[in-house]
Amino acid sequence: MKVHFDIVHSLRWLALVPALLFPLSARGQLTASGTINGTLINGSGIALVFEQDPSGVSLGGAGSSAASLNFGTIAAYGTLSSGVTRTNVGTNSFTVQTYFDVAVIEGGLNSNSYTLSAQLATAAPTGLGYGVDGVTLTTAAQNIQTNGTYNTSVQHSLSSVVSTAAPGAGGPAVGSPLTTTLNFTATSN
């Protein structure tokens, strides 16, 4: 039994020798290295981004593919919000417009240009009509630009024709916000 105690006692001393010779701070500086191999498959695609135009109203969500635009309070006469212009006042309607920019970003395509189309998500509220670059929008896609240049901000105009008829007689509601969603699509040529 004593032999076993001496062996165990000797092993304990041997275990303490490295700890005495190499302080904890030296043992904390160990390093290891490794390698990882990554595989990337480059996919081609395009992205449509709405950007603020210096001549237009401020866009909510500028720099993204889902922006909002607010004409503010409009009327056939009087002051309009900054960036909104009145382009036509007739006996039955008036037109307001503003500018916004669209950039179509391309990557990995063999396409030199794109076609930009737009459409109303649902029919416009009573007494209102919408157009982009002079093209009247409906719920069917309408081509706005057929030979667009990638990676360039392109100015577009959004107009709204407003009936001057009274509400209930073909004119829009007065004093309440009227909203419409326009969907834009860029297709590589």
What are the two backbone dihedrals, phi and then psi, of residue 13, each rounded to the nearest 5 degrees?
A: -65, -40
Q: How many CA atoms lie within 13 A of 89 on its CB side?
A: 7
What's the DSSP call for residue 177? -
Q: pTM (2 decimals)?
A: 0.76
3-state secondary structure of 8: helix
Q: Would 96 be classed as within a structural domain?
A: yes
Tokens for 71? Answer: 């004409």
What are the two backbone dihedrals, phi and then psi, of residue 61, each rounded to the nearest 5 degrees?
A: 75, 20
Range of the domain at 82: 46-188
Q: Would 1 be classed as within a structural domain?
A: no
CATH number of the domain that residue 146 is part of: 2.60.40
Q: Cβ atoms within 10 A of the Cβ of 39, count?
A: 4
Q: pLDDT by residue (tens digit) across 4-45? A: 444 444 445 444 445 545 555 555 678 777 778 777 666 788
> Who has greater pLDDT, 109 or 141?
141
DSSP string, 137-160: P-SS-EEEEEEEPTTSEEEEEEEE
Q: Would 138 be classed as within a structural domain?
A: yes
Q: Would 2 be classed as within a structural domain?
A: no
Q: Rounded to an integer, what distance in angstroms lies between the CA atom of residue 131 and that of residue 125?
A: 14
Q: Would 151 be classed as within a structural domain?
A: yes
Q: What is the number of structural domains in the chain?
A: 1
Tokens for 37? Answer: 């191999």
Q: Would 108 be classed as within a structural domain?
A: yes
Predicted confidence at residue 4, as pLDDT, reads 45
Q: How many CA atoms lie within 13 A of 110 on its CB side?
A: 0
The CA-based angle 135-139-144, given to 5 degrees, is: 30
Q: Would 109 be classed as within a structural domain?
A: yes
Predicted confidence at residue 84, as pLDDT, reads 97
Predicted confidence at residue 31, as pLDDT, reads 74
Would the pLDDT of 166 be above 90? yes
Whose tokens are 């039955």? That residue is: 92
Q: Rounded to an integer, what distance in angstroms lies between the CA atom of residue 47 and that of residue 116?
A: 12
Q: pLDDT by residue (tens digit) across 64-120? A: 999 999 999 999 999 999 999 999 999 999 999 999 999 999 988 889 999 999 999
Predicted confidence at residue 162, as pLDDT, reads 96
Tokens for 164? Answer: 């001057």
Predicted confidence at residue 18, as pLDDT, reads 53
